[in-house]
Amino acid sequence: MSGEPARSTPSRVVSREDEPLILVDSDDHAIGTLSKSACHDGDGVLHRAFSLFVFNARGELLIQQRHADKRLWPSYWSNSCCSHPRSGESMDEAVTRRLEQELGLRARLEFVYKFEYAARFRDAGSERELCSVYVGTSHAEPVPNTTEIAAWRWIAPAALDRELTNEADRFTPWFKLEWRCLNDAFADRLP
């Protein structure tokens, strides 16, 4: 599997382990904040998150390889962008901010669905998120923040399906869940 290395860009740190994440219940009611690090310790603590699926005009999906320094799933391939909203920030503001910070892109993103999941990464910790999934299209090429992204590429959905079947262990667990759900329940929302 090849990927285009992230081009040189004025990269900056856009998230920190001490950054407060929004704790939620299963109905997405905010119940407090906790550091990103603590949210990912052990079995994880349920917090608010989002995942973005950005397509180009040819209908290809932008996927990224997570930076090797990531605590959870380093160097794994994943969806276009994922992160967490900040306290006092709407989800729409958060997805716009993070897409720009991480990929240097702007896109009109539409909310598709929300789901809760948990996944453990060896002894390093866990994700436990209530995740809002968005889909959008961009006509620009990404200029990734190299503190976040090791490589990126556009991939046709059929090729992605083959890779997810043949090389599933190279992809993040949330990406696999989200892609399956998008195709099974929301195919009409995809470009």
Classify residue 104 by its DSSP letter: S
CB atoms within 10 A of CB 75: 13
| CB-based contacts of 111, cutoff 8 Å, min separation 6 | 91, 132, 133, 134
pLDDT for position 8: 42
81 is catalytic: no
14 falls in which pLDDT band (50, 70, 90)? low
CATH superfamily of 19-189: Nucleoside Triphosphate Pyrophosphohydrolase (3.90.79.10)
Lowest mean pLDDT segment, chosen from 6-10, 18-22, 26-30, 84-88: 6-10
Domain locations along the chain = 19-189
Q: Of 81, 82, 148, 178, which one is the catalytic site residue?
A: 82
Residue 185 to residue 89: CA distance in whole angstroms: 29
Q: Which 3 state secondary structure label does DSSP give 129?
A: strand
**Contact between residue 87 and residue 120 where contact means Cβ atoms under 8 Å apart:** no
Q: Of 102, 127, 129, 178, which one is the catalytic site residue?
A: 129
Q: 13: buried, middle or exposed (CB in 10 Å: 19+, 13-18, 0-12)?
A: exposed
With pLDDT > 90 as the criterion, what percentage of the chain qualifies?
90
pLDDT at 130 over 70: yes
13 falls in which pLDDT band (50, 70, 90)? low
Average pLDDT over residues 53-82: 97
82 is catalytic: yes
pLDDT at 11 over 80: no
pLDDT for position 15: 74
Rg value, the chain, Cα: 16
